[in-house]
Chains A and B, each alone.
Chain A
Amino acid sequence: MSSENKTPLLSVRNLVVEFSTRYGPVRAVDDISFDVYPNETVGIVGESGCGKTVTGLTLLQLIPMPPGRIVQGSINFDGRDLTKLSEKEMQEMRGSDISMIFQEPMTALNPVFSVGNQMIDVLRRHKNLTRRQARELAINMLDTVGIPAPRKRIDEYPHQMSGGMRQRVMIAMALSCGPKLLIADEPTTALDVTTQAQVMEQIVKLQDEFHMSMILVTHDLGVVAESCDRAIVMYCGNIIETAAIDDLFHKPQHPYTRGLLDSIPRIREERITELPIIRGMVPDLLHLPDGCRFADRCPRATDECRQDKPVVNIDPVTGNGVACYHPMG
């Protein structure tokens, strides 16, 4: 999919995001670069705390500042560098050109307004519609995302809906203004297994229908295999491998990726909330080693690995890349 002749919709270069904490600055995202092409779905995987959510929020300039800060890097979206836009211009963009849905459907909606009220707000914020038109459109969207009896349910409050329904409402809201890019941050992690599958299926279907690109942040490599074109593997704020899905699953290059794949249960009967544990501890972002951040857990680590940090080298033909001195064959 990452055909070289197309221009990417989103192009992130050397992005560094830092949080100042009581104990010193923490680099939650450390020098990452990646592209997302039109209509493409890119998965971001990695253990909890590796910087996936911060990456997604930073694209929308939504990290809390302070304590957060974009130290360097550019985010080119549709010909504009988002890091250079004013807050006003950014507001115009959020929810209309780029939408984001979050992990926690239970708390992501405002509890004291009906879902219709919140959907209408979004529609009228970005489109020139009357209340009545916006309401009709909202009902249509609810129908599109598979909510039965949308005309009735639109006046319900979030607490009257199940988690799956709320997440569908979020999706409806996110798609209602026809965004070019959808950032889905673990959209199904908080749901039960059957609902997970249904909601994921719905997202993939709609992505196609709406001709959007999507960044799918997830713990679940199974989901990545089913719905992504390409995947980015993150570790301690770094991208350590990026590859087309088939390559990643059949010929993982990074020992960490390999470890992740090995630990996927053959039959996915139970929902996986955390990536299976690879032996050892993720280093603390405050005390990172000089060399490869995975070295302490890596079976292939050598002295070289501990001296300098390996960087990702992207193959111009395949678009794949890995940050490792001794990649797997």
Chain B
Amino acid sequence: MEVLQYAIRKLLGGIPLVLGVTFISFLLMVYFGPDKTYELLGKNPTQEQIDEIRHELGYDKPFMVRYGEYLKQMATLDFGASDSTGEPVSKVLARTVPISLALITPGFILGNVLGILLALIAAYHRSGPIDKYIMGFSVVGMSISFLIVVIAFQIIFSSSYGLNAFPVRGWNVHSFSDYLRYITVPTLATIFVALGYNTRFYRAVLVEEMTRDHVRTAKAFGTRPGKLLYKNILKNSMIPIITRIMFSIPLVVVSGSLIIESYFGIPGIGKVTYDAITTGDQPILKAVVGLTAVLFVITLLITDILYRVVDPRVSLK
């Protein structure tokens, strides 16, 4: 009950955020975005044809009316059909979102889990040579551009100059082994890039926790290192860890998949969205941006509830 009340309050509190995001995006992507009129017309259109198309696309209505319609679409989750293909937006999402999730989830999870593991090792050997190696590796990782990693990995794994063992691009998945073949190179690249940042962040969090008084107390009572690491250090670091993981979810889903999908030619939500921007496919843009904002608000809510789970001092007030 407490949680439910809290959830409702929190979701209502997220409305200004959703309004802000949709408004700015609407202004940029829809109002000032590319004009589809001439694309849809043949050569030498008459003024009448132009007006008709503009009316169909809704370009002739005043700004606030168009934005209001957008909000109504948000509320009803009915975004109409893609301007480019005529396919209903809901269908486009249902087709592309699962592909993106399948593509980025393994890398996202492994990047965080390995990051935490490396951070634990580094923090445990704080100031020692192992720590220095791990942190050195992580600064190097942070300094390499994602694109460079992607290209280099493609040369190494997918080209005749390297192992030539994986598909160069595309998404022709009919079985689990196809799936593994197609996600390997993008996943390795994602992990490589995420690992530098993650290891560094998690190490800082863990080291900070290690210097706390309660850790010293636990040591003074003979707690074994393994238990100390788990019960005093990892458990107590859960709040920043959860924060980082949760808040990167909405961004990774769209931004992360956008780069990988564009480069590897994978038909996920990132690629569809990018194409929608370049062609001015407004229904798709409206849906993606609006739903991302909602995803953000829901993420905030779940994060708060998770805080409550890991730390008894947090109250859902």
Is there direct touching of A and B in the complex, by C-beta distance under 8 Å? yes
**Is A108 part of the binding interface, using a Cβ–Cβ cutoff of 8 Å?**
yes
A interface footprint on B209-239 (CB within 8 Å = 1, 0 otherwise): 0001110111111111001000110011010
List the B side residues contacting A92 at CB < 8 Å. 222
A87-126 contacts to B, CB under 8 A, are 91-96, 99-100, 102, 104, 107-113, 121-122, 125-126
Closest to A56 in B: B220
List the B side residues contacting A96 at CB < 8 Å. 222
CB of A184, distance to nearest CB on chain B (Å)? 12
**Is B310 part of the binding interface, using a Cβ–Cβ cutoff of 8 Å?**
yes
Expressed in whole angstroms, the Cα–Cα distance for A95 and B220 within the complex equals 6
Q: Are B213 and A91 in contact (CB under 8 A)?
A: no
Indicate whether A100 sits within 8 Å of B313 (C-beta atoms), given known contacts A107-B214, A111-B214: no
Expressed in whole angstroms, the Cα–Cα distance for A107 and B216 within the complex equals 10
Closest to A60 in B: B220
Q: Are A111 and B231 in contact (CB under 8 A)?
A: no
Q: Are B213 and A108 in contact (CB under 8 A)?
A: yes
CB of B123, distance to nearest CB on chain A (Å)? 13
B290-317 contacts to A, CB under 8 A, are 310-313
**Is B127 part of the binding interface, using a Cβ–Cβ cutoff of 8 Å?**
yes
Q: Are A109 and B214 in contact (CB under 8 A)?
A: yes
| Majority secondary structure of chain B interface residues (helix, strand, loop or mixed) | helix
Expressed in whole angstroms, the Cα–Cα distance for A100 and B220 within the complex equals 6
Expressed in whole angstroms, the Cα–Cα distance for A61 and B93 within the complex equals 60
Q: Are B221 and A122 in contact (CB under 8 A)?
A: yes
Number of A-B contacts (CB under 8 A): 75
Report which of B127, B213, B223, B232 forms a contact with A125, defined as CB distance below 8 A.
B223
Indicate whether A91 sits within 8 Å of B222 (C-beta atoms), given known contacts A111-B214, A112-B311: yes
List the B side residues contacting A125 at CB < 8 Å. 221-224
**Is A249 part of the binding interface, using a Cβ–Cβ cutoff of 8 Å?**
no
Q: How many chain-A residues does the 8 Å CB contact rule pick out?
A: 30
Indicate whether A107 sits within 8 Å of B220 (C-beta atoms), given known contacts A112-B311, A113-B231, A159-B312: no
Indicate whether A94 sits within 8 Å of B220 (C-beta atoms), given known contacts A107-B214, A110-B232, A111-B214: yes
Indicate whether A102 sits within 8 Å of B312 (C-beta atoms), given known contacts A66-B127, A125-B222: no
List the A side residues contacting B223 at CB < 8 Å. 91, 121, 125
**Is A34 part of the binding interface, using a Cβ–Cβ cutoff of 8 Å?**
no
Q: Are A107 and B236 in contact (CB under 8 A)?
A: no
CB of A33, distance to nearest CB on chain B (Å)? 23
Closest to B219 in A: A62
List the A side residues contacting B222 at CB < 8 Å. 91-96, 122, 125-126
CB of A292, distance to nearest CB on chain B (Å)? 34
* 18 A-B pairs in the complex with CB atoms less than 8 angstroms apart: A62-B220, A94-B222, A95-B220, A99-B221, A102-B213, A107-B213, A109-B214, A109-B217, A110-B232, A110-B235, A111-B236, A113-B231, A122-B221, A122-B222, A157-B312, A157-B313, A159-B312, A170-B217
Given A92-B222, A99-B221, A125-B223, output 19 extra A-B contacts at Cβ < 8 Å. Answer: A94-B221, A94-B222, A102-B220, A107-B212, A107-B214, A108-B213, A110-B218, A110-B231, A110-B236, A111-B311, A112-B238, A112-B310, A112-B311, A113-B235, A121-B221, A122-B221, A157-B312, A159-B312, A174-B221
